[in-house]
Amino acid sequence: MPKNKLNDLDPKTWLKFQKSWFIHNPPPRKRDVLTHPAKFPETLAQEFIEFFTKRGQTVLDPMCGTGSTLIAALRAGRHSYGIELNPKYAAIARQMVEQERISRQGKADVAEVVTEVIQGDAAQACQYHIPVVDYVLTSPPYWDMLHAKGAENQKKRRETQGLDVVYSDDPRDVGNIHDYQEFLEHLVRIYAGLKPLLRVQAYVTIIVKNVKKGGKIYPLAWDLGRELGKIYVLKDEKLWLQDNQRLAPFGLGSAWVSNTFHHYCLQFRNE
């Protein structure tokens, strides 16, 4: 193995991560974070962070939700900054980080690690005094899908449990932009706006899905790859497959409608 400039992994773990797909079935969520409609698992985030950074480096999630990236970074001994628009989720993220710190007390690495949750708008990231970071790991709202018709039973179930069915009613919330092109352009502007915060050669991983709406596909992952590829270099994709979801009989007997159980983890680099 030549000198490893990217991470602290041994060659075997490095190679394992380089497969272009992985199956990760999220473990059950803690009660405190259930109110958030869509989060990625900390265990998944930690694998990405440990591949794309070294211990002691800094990670940013500009839409950090309830803080999965920050908790994963803390576990991996990386500093992290998260921006979240919804004050409720930002507060939960702070609380989750605090709980994680308490549960890891006594472990020397944790005391030194900086973790900061900023309640604010990702579009203003450069104004929040965030230092230059070594890696961005994030996932945006999948357009306005939480507002879309469908999955009514699931929505009703969440509502009766007092859980959120949309992220917020804030107009700055990109999940509230209903025009697809406008949404895509704004999202690309937000990610492009992070460039001054990114170290040269830093990677950016965006976890995203293509979106089905009104009987057709809006190729959000592919559009984002193309458009953001004009700002950073689009290096690769890695597919996150879920293999424990219940199949629904969409279009049974009449049309092809897939059960979409994969996300794209798009890899860009600030070259």
Instruction: Tell me which residues touch ligand SAM (CB under 6 A).
Output: 36, 38-40, 63-66, 68, 83-86, 89, 121-123, 139-141, 167-168, 172-175
Q: Of 140 and 225, which CB lies nearer to ligand SAM in the complex structure?
A: 140
Name residues whose C-beta falls within 8 Å of residue 45's C-beta, 6 or more positions apart in sequence.
68, 69, 71, 72, 73, 137
Tell me how far, at minimum, the Cβ of 12 lies from ligand SAM, in Å: 28
What's the closest the beta carbon of residue 45 comes to ligand SAM, in angstroms? Answer: 7
Report, in this order, helix, strand and coil percent for the chain, each rounded to 5: 35, 20, 45
C-beta closer to ligand SAM: residue 13 or 95: 95
φ/ψ of 125, rounded to 5, equals -50, -40
Q: Of the two residues 7 and 138, which places its CB atom closer to ligand SAM in the complex?
A: 138
Q: How far is the CB of 175 from ligand SAM (least distance, A)?
A: 5
Min. distance of Cβ 256 from ligand SAM in angstroms?
Answer: 27
Instruction: Please check whether residue 89 is in contact with residue 163, taking contact to mean a CB–CB distance below 8 angstroms.
Output: no
Q: Nearer Cβ to ligand SAM, position 8 or 227?
A: 227
Q: DSSP for 75-112?
A: HTT-EEEEEESSHHHHHHHHHHHHHHHHHTTT-HHHHH
Q: Letter for the amino acid at 198?
A: L
Nearer to ligand SAM, 10 or 179 (CB): 179
The span from the CA of 130 to the CA of 86, in Å, is: 19
Judged by beta carbon, residue 174 or residue 198, the one nearer ligand SAM is 174
Residues comprising the chain, all counted: 271
Shortest reach from residue 128's CB to ligand SAM, in Å: 11
Nearest to ligand SAM of 151, 233 (CB atom):
151
What per-residue string of b and e applies to 249-267 under the rule 16 or more CB within 10 Å gives b?
eeeeeeeeeeeeeebbbbb
Of 84 and 223, CB closest to ligand SAM: 84
CB of 251 to ligand SAM, least distance (A): 27
Per-residue burial over 64-103, b = 16 or more CB atoms within 10 Å of its CB, e = otherwise: bbbbbbbbbbbbbbbbbbbbbbbeebbebbbebbeebbee
Q: What are phi and psi of 184, to 5 degrees?
A: -60, -45
Residue nearest to ligand SAM according to CB distances in the complex: 65
Q: How far is the CB of 239 from ligand SAM (least distance, A)?
A: 18
Rounded Cα distance between 241 and 262, Å, is: 4
Encoding tokens for residue 107? 């472990």
